[in-house]
């Protein structure tokens, strides 16, 4: 099993640019989660999908952030425009079902906004 795949692994961009992070969940998993991790705030849930439908986006910081899941095997997290305070590691995770199931995390995308 390939596990959760994220791309890119590293992204360096300038303030104001659009950033798109990509995720391929484990095949057969019905739930997908986007997290942001920083030293100050730890691991924060941004949004989560179940069967490709957004269930809870209360963690999305502001309108600059958007996420889509057009099909069961692909999701994107977009930041437009990016700001230096968006610098963090962004993780995608998937689980077989919703409801406290084990989450399988990808390797993360390390984003630096200059």
Partner 1 sequence: TQLLEQSPQFLSIQEGENLTVYCNSSSVFSSLQWYRQEPGEGPVLLVTVVTGGEVKKLKRLTFQFGDARKDSSLHITAAQPGDTGLYLCAAPASYGKLTFGQGTILTVHP
Question: Contact residues for partner 1 (CB under 8 A)?
Answer: 4, 31, 33, 42-43, 45, 48, 50, 55-56, 91, 93, 97-100, 102-108
Nearest approach in angstroms of CB 51 to partner 1 is 11
Name the burial class of residue 73, with classes exposed (0-12), middle (13-18) and buried (19+) by CB atoms within 10 angstroms of its CB.
middle
Q: How far is the CB of 104 from partner 1 (least distance, A)?
A: 8
Residue 56 burial by Cβ neighbours in a 10 Å radius (0-12, 13-18, 19+): middle
Q: How far is the CB of 45 from partner 1 (least distance, A)?
A: 6
In total, the chain counts a number of residues equal to 114
HSE of 27, CA atoms in CB hemisphere, 13 A: 2
Task: Provide the minimum distance between the beta carbon of 55 and partner 1 in the complex, in angstroms, as a whole number.
Answer: 6
Cβ proximity to partner 1: between 15 and 43 the closer is 43
- Alpha-carbon distance of 27 to 4, in angstroms, equals 9
Between 20 and 98, name the residue whose CB sits nearer to partner 1. 98
| Closest of 86, 88, 111 to residue 8, by C-alpha | 111
């Amino acid at each position: 099993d390939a596990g959760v795949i994220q791309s890119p692994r590293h992204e360096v961009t300038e303030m104001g640019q659009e950033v798109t992070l990509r995720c391929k969940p484990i095949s057969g998993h019905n739930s997908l989660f986007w997290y942001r991790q920083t030293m100050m705030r730890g691991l924060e849930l941004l949004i989560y999908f179940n069967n490709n439908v957004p269930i809870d986006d209360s963690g999305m910081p502001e309108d600059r952030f958007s996420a889509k899941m057009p099909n069961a095997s692909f999701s994107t997290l977009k930041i437009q425009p990016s700001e230096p305070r968006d610098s963090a590691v962004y993780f995608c995770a998937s689980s077989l079902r919703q409801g406290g199931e084990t989450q399988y995390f990808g390797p993360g995308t390390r984003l630096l906004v200059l």
